[in-house]
Amino acid sequence: MNILVTGGCGFIGSNFIRQRLTEKNSPLGKLVNLDLLTYAGNPANLADLASDPRYIFQKGDIGDEALVSKLLAEHEIDAILNFAAESHVDRSIDSPEPFIQTNVTGTLRLLNAARRHWASLPEPRRAAFRFLHVSTDEVYGTLAPHDPAFTESTPFAPNSPYAASKAASDHLVRAFHHTYGLPVLTTNCSNNYGPYHFPEKLIPLMILNALDGKPLPVYGDGQQIRDWLFVEDHAAAIWLTLQKGRPGETYNVGGLNERANLDVVKTLCALLDEKSPRPGGASYSAQIAYVADRPGHDRRYAIDCSKIQRELGWSPRESFETGLAKTVDWYLSNRAWADEITKTRYQRERLGSAK
């Protein structure tokens, strides 16, 4: 199977590629990684695998239909996995337009190229072709404390510009299946965490701020609840969905780990107290600082992933405790990676503000 992965230098995409290239006996031919390398795309995430003869990196935009069409034909692509997205809610609140450009227009153009390529394939390659779109639980909106978890039939009710852009892209994917017959699959995941997570997201930000002696900023009262999914479990679910999922279907992927943000931060502090104690022995929890809440902050997300468990036989391997311990260990062992990407981000933002 020759696959095109878009956004493969980002957090989830790079973990997926790493899993595919390191798994023994994987039915993988070429793996082409198309990434524009915006602020969250980091080639260092895959530097140790760059010499794999199956791996091909191409810098470029999913909105460049000519480039995408060239890659699909040249590498005889059998499946597209679309990880490419602007994904940070705070950034979408500050500036929504890049999210529309990448998540909506970019996905549309990627679908256009995919449809042309698929239509040109001979049987049985045409029948086997798949387009898998990676999305988020945020398209479903927010839940009250005792509401049932999101299912695949939960109506969309996005509350941030980011969530609205992902909901639009999900609708486009569905429409291309209904109108053109393109064999698509969609996965909607809960909050991911794990190695190579961009340092502005909650868990890596708290780890790195704690180690640097900086405040640990917690929005509002810290009681916003998320369902936490270890990224390697998510990558395995995506691969299984690609192989066994029914075209036109959506599969929710959740970690079965609902936690309040404040509890996540306190758990991280306890792990760091154990694994990298502060001088003098004080707890990292002393660095917790409450800040003004995010505008329109969703109160609770929870994923019902019984469909993918029942139909495809997937379940998360990691509990929140084991996954978080692995994540903390990774960041303690990879400070240079985090320092470099943080420095690069700040340099780009300074340059941008000077224009």
How large is the average pLDDT for residues 36-57?
Answer: 93
Task: Record the pTM.
Answer: 0.94
Please give the pLDDT value at position 344: 64
Q: d(Cα 35, Cα 303) in Å, to the nearest integer?
A: 29
Q: Could you tell me how far CA 305 lies from the centroid of its own chain? A: 17
92-110 mean pLDDT: 93
For the cut 80, the answer to whether the pLDDT of residue 279 exceeds it is yes
For residue range 281-340, list pLDDT tens digits in order.
999 999 999 999 988 898 999 999 999 999 999 999 999 999 999 999 999 999 999 888
> What residues act catalytically?
137-138, 162
CATH architecture type of domain 3-192+231-254+296-319? 3-Layer(aba) Sandwich (3.40)
89 versus 256: the higher-pLDDT residue is 256
* pLDDT for 342 beyond 80: no
Residue 141 has pLDDT above 60, yes or no: yes
Which residues, 6 or more positions from 255, have their beta carbon under 8 angstroms from its beta carbon? 190, 191, 227, 228, 229, 230, 233, 303, 316, 318, 320, 323
Q: What is the mean pLDDT of residues 63-82?
A: 98
User: What is the rounded CA–CA span in Å between residue 149 and residue 181?
Assistant: 30
Q: What local confidence, expressed as pLDDT, does residue 214 receive?
A: 96
* Mean pLDDT of all residues in 224-241: 98
Q: Pairing state of beta strands 31-35 and 3-6?
A: parallel
pLDDT of residue 353: 28
b/e code 124-146 from CB counts within 10 Å (16+ = b): eeeeebbbbbbbbbbbbbbbeee
Residue 121: partners with Cβ closer than 8 Å, 6 or more residues away: 129
- CA atoms within 13 A of residue 128's CA, in its CB half-sphere: 11
Cα–Cα distance, 201 to 329 (Å, whole number): 17
DSSP H or E segment with residue 100:
none
Please tell me the predicted confidence (pLDDT) of residue 348: 42
Average of pLDDT values for 334-353? Answer: 64
Residue with tokens 């929710």: 252
Percent share of the chain, pLDDT over 70 = 97
Q: HSE on the CB side for 238, CA within 13 Å? A: 31
DSSP letter at 189? Answer: E
Structural contact between residues 39 and 348, judged by C-beta atoms closer than 8 angstroms: yes
Nearest to residue 353, comparing CAs of 345, 38, 102? Answer: 345
Please spell the DSSP secondary structure of 41-96, one letter per residue. Answer: --GGGGGGGTT-TTEEEEE--TT-HHHHHHHHHHTT-SEEEE------HHHHHH--
Instruction: Write the DSSP string, 251-300.
Output: EEE--S-EEEHHHHHHHHHHHHHHHSPPTTS--GGGGEEEEPPPTT---B
Residues whose CB is less than 8 angstroms from the CB of residue 237 and which lie 6 or more positions away in sequence, other chains included:
187, 189, 251, 253, 308, 312, 314
Asked if residue 3 lies in contact with residue 30, where contact means CB atoms within 8 angstroms, the answer is yes
Domain boundaries along the sequence of the chain:
3-192+231-254+296-319
- Per residue in 192-224, pLDDT (tens digit) is 999 999 888 899 999 999 999 999 999 999 999
Burial zone of 298 (CB within 10 Å; 0-12 exposed, 13-18 middle, 19+ buried):
buried
Instruction: Give dist(CA 165, CA 108) in Å, integer.
Output: 12
- N- to C-terminal Cα distance for the chain? 45
The mean of the pLDDT values for the chain is 94
Residue 108: is its pLDDT beyond 90? yes
Mean pLDDT (whole number) for 39-43: 86
pLDDT for 212 equals: 95
Q: Tell which wins on pLDDT, 154 or 280.
A: 154
What is the torsional sign of CA 180, 185, 189, 192?
negative
Over 60: is that where the pLDDT of 349 sits? no
